[in-house]
C-alpha cells in the first residue's frame, strides 16, 4: 500500500478544508449548533452536498463517486479539525457502508443510495450492543415491526431514516413514524449528537440479510471513520498549541523556547503522526485487506484512542488557564477527542483484544 496521497485526494482534502473554514467555522457555525439537535443548517448541508461529499461512498450507478474509505477518511479528518457538528459522518460514511457491508440491493437500497448522495435523505446507523437487539415481529411480506431500545444512535435527531443492523439483518426505519422515539442523550462533547432511540412496534423494511461478519465489519468501519475524525481534531489542537507557544511570552521569551513546553509539543506531534499512520492503514484495510487484518487494524486505532486524547489534555496545559474557558476552542477539541476515546467502549478493552489477536497469531 502507498500512504502518500494522490493529487486528487489532496484536492478533495483542500476543497473540504476551505469550505468548512469559510462556511462552517467554529465561531459562526459550530458554537451556534452545539445545542441544536441536528447540528447543521440547510445552507451548510446543501453546501456539503454540492461539493459531492455526501456521495463519496455511494456507487456510481446511484449517483455517487464510488470512492474508497481512504477518500472518506480524508474528509472525516477535516470534519474533526473543524469540529463539524452535523450528521455528515453518519449519513455520508456509515450509512453507505452499512448498505454495502450487508449487500443491500434492489429498489429500496437504490433509493437510499441516491437520496444520500443527493442530500435529500439523511441516514443514521444503529448497531445494538450484542444481546440487546430489538425484538422483531411479522414477516417481510406482511410487514415487519421492531420493539426495544438502542441507547446511543448518533445523529438520529437529524435523520430521515435509521439503518438498524440487528444480528444478521439490516432494516430501514423511518424516523417520522410515531412509533419511533428519539430522545437526546448528551455527553461530554456537544458537537456529537447522540440519541436514545426506542422502537414501539415501529414499521421496518428488511434491506438485506448477511452473516454476522457484516455487522463486525460495519463496526470496524465506524471505529475507523471516528478515528480519522479524531486525528483531525488532534492535528488542529496541535497546530493551535504550537502557534500559541510561538507568540505567548513569559520572562521576555516565547514560551515555546522553554524546554518543558517544547517537549509537550513534541509529544503531541509524535502522537498525532502515529495515529495518522495507523488510521491511514486502517482505512486501506477497510477496502482491500482480509477480515482478520481489517479487524486488527480497527482494534489498534481504537486502542490508541486514549493516547490520542492526551493531545487535547497537553494542549490545555500549554494554553494554561485560558484553555479551560468556554470562550476558548481548546476545550472543545479535548471533548471531541474524549468522545472518541469512550466511543463503543474504553481503549483498554480494545488493547486487550489486540493482545489476544497477536497472541493467537504467534501461537
Examine the pLDDT at 3 and tell me if it is beyond 80: no
- Please compute the mean of the pLDDT values over residues 123-129 and round it to a whole number: 93
As given in the structure block, the three cell numbers for residue 339 are 468522545
Q: How confident is the model at residue 4 (pLDDT cuts 50, 70, 90)?
A: confident
Summarised one tens digit per residue, pLDDT across range 239-298 is 999 999 998 888 888 888 898 999 999 999 999 999 999 999 999 999 999 999 999 999
Q: Cell 426505519 appears where? A: 173
Summarised one tens digit per residue, pLDDT across range 285-332 is 999 999 999 999 999 999 999 999 999 999 999 998 888 899 999 999
Cα 260 from chain centroid?
34
Q: Domains in the chain and their CATH numbers? A: 7-118 (1.10.540.10), 123-210 (2.40.110.10), 213-362 (1.20.140.10)
Lowest mean pLDDT among 40-54, 131-145, 155-169, 306-320: 131-145
Q: Residue 163 in contact with residue 124, Cβ under 8 Å?
A: yes
Q: Are strands 161-166 and 123-126 parallel, antiparallel or unpaired?
A: parallel
As given in the structure block, the three cell numbers for residue 211 are 452473516
- Residue 220 CA to residue 224 CA, distance in Å, equals 6
The pTM for the full model equals 0.95
Q: How confident is the model at residue 94 (pLDDT cuts 50, 70, 90)?
A: very high
Summarised one tens digit per residue, pLDDT across range 195-212 is 999 999 999 999 999 987
What is the pLDDT at residue 133?
85
Cα Rg, the chain, nearest whole Å: 21
- Residue 7 CA to residue 3 CA, distance in Å, equals 13
For residue 211, with 0-12 CB atoms within 10 Å meaning exposed, 13-18 middle and 19 or more buried, which class applies? Answer: exposed
Examine the pLDDT at 1 and tell me if it is beyond 70: no
DSSP state of 26: I
Sequence-ordered strand ranges (E) for the chain? 123-126, 135-139, 143-154, 161-166, 169-174, 180-184, 194-209, 249-250, 253-254
Examine the pLDDT at 128 and tell me if it is beyond 80: yes
Q: What distances in angstroms separate CA 269 from CA 76, 329, 331, one per listed residue?
A: 19, 19, 18
Nearest 5°: CA angle at 165, between 160 and 166? Answer: 125
As given in the structure block, the three cell numbers for residue 23 are 462556511
Distance in angstroms between the alpha carbons of the first and the last residue of the chain: 27
- Residue 345 CA to residue 127 CA, distance in Å, equals 14
Summarised one tens digit per residue, pLDDT across range 152-199 is 999 999 999 999 998 889 999 999 999 999 999 989 999 999 999 999
Amino acid at each position: 500500500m502507498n500512504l502518500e496521497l494522490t493529487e486528487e485526494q489532496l484536492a478533495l482534502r483542500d476543497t473540504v478544508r476551505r469550505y468548512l473554514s469559510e462556511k462552517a467555522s467554529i465561531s459562526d457555525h459550530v458554537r451556534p449548533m452545539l445545542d441544536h439537535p441536528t447540528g447543521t443548517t440547510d445552507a451548510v448541508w446543501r453546501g456539503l452536498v454540492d461539493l459531492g461529499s455526501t456521495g463519496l461512498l455511494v456507487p456510481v450507478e446511484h449517483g455517487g463517486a464510488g470512492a474508497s474509505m481512504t477518500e472518506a477518511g480524508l474528509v472525516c479528518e477535516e470534519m474533526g479539525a473543524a469540529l463539524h457538528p452535523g450528521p455528515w459522518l453518519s449519513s455520508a460514511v456509515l450509512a453507505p457502508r452499512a448498505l454495502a457491508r450487508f449487500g443491500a440491493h434492489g429498489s429500496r437500497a437504490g433509493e437510499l443510495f441516491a437520496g444520500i448522495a443527493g442530500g435529500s435523505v439523511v441516514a443514521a446507523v444503529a448497531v445494538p450492543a450484542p444481546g440487546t437487539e430489538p425484538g422483531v415481529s411479522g414477516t417481510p411480506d406482511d410487514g415487519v415491526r421492531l420493539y426495544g431500545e438502542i441507547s446511543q444512535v448518533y445523529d438520529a435527531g437529524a435523520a430521515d431514516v435509521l439503518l438498524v443492523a440487528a444480528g444478521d439483518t439490516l432494516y430501514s426505519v423511518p424516523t417520522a413514524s410515531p412509533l419511533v422515539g428519539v430522545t437526546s442523550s448528551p455527553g461530554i462533547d456537544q458537537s456529537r449528537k447522540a440519541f436514545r432511540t426506542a422502537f414501539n412496534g415501529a414499521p421496518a423494511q428488511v434491506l438485506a440479510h448477511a452473516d454476522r461478519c457484516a455487522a463486525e465489519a460495519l463496526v470496524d468501519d465506524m471505529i475507523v471513520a471516528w478515528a480519522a475524525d479524531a486525528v483531525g481534531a488532534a492535528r488542529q489542537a496541535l497546530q493551535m498549541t504550537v502557534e500559541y507557544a510561538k507568540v505567548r511570552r513569559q520572562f521576555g521569551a516565547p514560551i515555546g523556547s522553554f524546554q518543558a513546553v517544547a517537549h509537550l509539543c513534541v509529544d503531541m506531534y509524535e502522537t498525532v503522526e502515529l495515529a495518522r499512520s495507523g488510521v491511514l492503514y486502517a482505512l486501506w484495510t477497510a477496502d482491500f485487506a482480509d477480515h482478520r487484518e481489517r479487524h486488527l487494524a480497527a482494534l489498534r486505532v481504537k486502542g490508541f484512542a486514549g493516547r490520542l486524547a492526551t493531545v487535547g489534555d497537553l494542549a490545555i496545559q500549554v494554553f494554561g488557564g485560558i484553555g479551560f474557558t468556554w470562550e476558548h476552542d481548546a476545550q472543545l477539541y479535548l471533548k471531541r477527542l474524549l468522545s472518541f476515546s469512550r466511543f463503543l467502549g474504553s481503549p483498554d478493552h480494545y488493547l486487550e483484544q489486540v493482545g489476544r489477536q497477536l497472541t493467537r497469531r504467534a501461537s
